[in-house]
Chain A
Amino acid sequence: MKANELDQIRSVIKTNKRADLIFALAGFLALMVGVMAFITLFGEMVANGWERINPDFFTSFPSRRAANAGILSAWVGSLLVMLVTALSAIPLGIAAGVYLEEYAPKNWMTDLIEINVTNLAGVPSIVYGLLALGVFVYTFGFGQSILTAGLTLGLLILPVVIVSTREALRAIPIHIREGAYGVGATQWQVVSDHLVPYATPGIMTGVIIGMSRAIGETAPIITIGALTFIAFLPPSPVTDTVPFLNFEWLFSGFTVMPIQMFNWTSRPEEAFQQNAAAAGLILVLMTLMMNAIAIWLRYRLRKSISW
């Protein structure tokens, strides 16, 4: 190779590499838009709400005096609503996803259902609120209760759970299924002994993404008529007498974190804005914690599943 040819190649490489650098910079800036937005929002909440966060804030009911107000009823409400959401959405979503992916015949009906499920994930949450008001509150007579709220949010995240179940099932290689069928397993044995266990990390990701969305939902909860000022706790689910479980809490009135926040932000006093920021901070931390648990569990489960 002649010297001038080598120079030519080097200059071409140099020009080509310039594009690399430009994209790296542009990409970094694009990433920073998201990161900075989050840091700013989070930072502002920390700055405004930090002083209010102390043990009393978690153990006090809301109050007309900002300094005495706390989020006890809100976080307990959120936790109980999430419990109902998880218990309703996870089994329903997994069962529906497994059926669609493994059992349903592949025809236009299935395609139609599939499109609908995907679309449901995009329906505005307030529409779910209206549906729940009509069906759960009035028709079924569940009232404006934790049960109603939990089921409503369960419906809201159902499409996410179904879609992630299907995707997790589809990621299982065909030769694993054939191996199981090959030794004489029935479809149900293949599903319950292999497919669902191996799909669990993927399904959990979907569940947690859904739950993180649900915990911050406000519109459908307001629509079904959650209380905004509440100075009592639902009856405890666990009791000290046989049978140690109590289901009255399901029908109790409640409030949740985002509603408590919304209530405080709509007050004129500066001190309540601080409360709102503190509650917001806790809500974000709750979501982050859920995601952290999900990532950790997924990591642990994935380690044992490979092909």
Chain B
Amino acid sequence: MSTTEQNLPVKAFTRDFNFYYGSFHALKSINLPVIEKHVTALIGPSGCGKSTLLRSFNRMHDLYPGNRYQGEIVLNPDNTNILDARVDPIEVRMRVGMVFQKPNPFPKSIYENVAYGLRVRGEKSRSTLDDKIEDALRGASLWNEVKDRLNQPATALSGGQQQRLCIARCLATDPELLLFDEPTSALDPIATANIEELVTQLRDRVTILIVTHNMQQAARVSHYTAYMYLGEVVEYGITDEVFLRPKKKETEDYITGRFG
């Protein structure tokens, strides 16, 4: 499976993917494609497993004991099952970037925040760092606001700026897939609009998988939507179809606000 029915390239997909927190079966036989250079949204009520699924794509669960993956998550073009025991989770995280729910800049300078991903990749040349940092900050629509104070602490920025800085931190390393875990849930409406704008700008450049609580957000930014409930993908399809002509009753109930 490397293309969908519409013959679009698939950047990543899960095959019979199950996930366990200890003995709790959190995700059940997930089969989900993530189309290249498009935005795929995961929606569903709290506790449905959407964040758990997202965090599996960069093996974040490996940081904590008692978690277990089963099945496959395949990353193209090399067709690597990133859950394979032989695949180093650090290699996966170098390919797949992640933006978190709460902006989490390091208590370092703005410059060092964006530089960090490059530094762990061994980049030492000051001029290369400078160039890539400028590109990343421009890509995250933050350059004009911070270009004169790159050496100031990142924590002095506003919440929305911090989140865009975290996006820049990912962009600097040129990820193949970018994961967003409810990136606007800690932000005010204006900062939220900025991030959404940014996601729509980025979708031609990088493949995006986004978890959101906010259905309007999913409708605004995504091409594809998966509705999840109780650890299963109930419905997956083109966003407009899922929102306007849901095939399943549960999806319709959730989307129309009768449930969730």
Residues of A within 8 A of B (CB): 106, 173, 175-186, 189, 193-194, 198, 304-307
Contact A181 B63 (CB under 8 A): yes
Contacts of B116 in A (CB 8 A): 180, 183, 185, 193
For B104, give its contact among A106, A179, A198, A306 (CB under 8 Å).
A179
Contact B104 A176 (CB under 8 A): yes
Closest to B117 in A: A183
Q: Report if B100 contacts A (CB, 8 A).
A: yes
Besides A176-B107, A182-B93, A182-B100, 10 new A-B residue pairs in contact (Cβ under 8 A), listed by A number: A178-B60, A181-B63, A181-B93, A182-B58, A183-B120, A184-B90, A184-B91, A184-B121, A194-B106, A305-B107
Contact B97 A182 (CB under 8 A): yes
Contacts of B105 in A (CB 8 A): 179
Contacts of A175 in B (CB 8 A): 100-102, 104
6 pairs, A vs B, C-beta closer than 8 Å? A180-B116, A182-B100, A183-B170, A184-B120, A189-B120, A198-B107
Least CB distance from B177 to A in Å reads: 12
Residues of B within 8 A of A (CB): 58, 60, 63, 65, 90-91, 93-94, 97-98, 100-102, 104-107, 116-117, 119-121, 153, 155, 166, 169-170, 173
Contacts of A305 in B (CB 8 A): 107
Least CB distance from B52 to A in Å reads: 14
Contact B98 A184 (CB under 8 A): no
- The CA-CA distance from A173 to B102 in the complex, in Å, is 11
Closest to A172 in B: B107
Closest to B55 in A: A178
Contacts of B63 in A (CB 8 A): 177-178, 181
Contacts of A173 in B (CB 8 A): 104
- The CA-CA distance from A187 to B100 in the complex, in Å, is 19
For B173, give its contact among A179, A181, A184, A198 (CB under 8 Å).
A184
Q: Which residue, of A173, A183, A186, A307, has the highest number of chain B Cβ atoms within 10 A?
A: A183
- The CA-CA distance from A186 to B97 in the complex, in Å, is 15
Contacts of B100 in A (CB 8 A): 175, 178-179, 182
- The CA-CA distance from A185 to B94 in the complex, in Å, is 8
Closest to A184 in B: B94
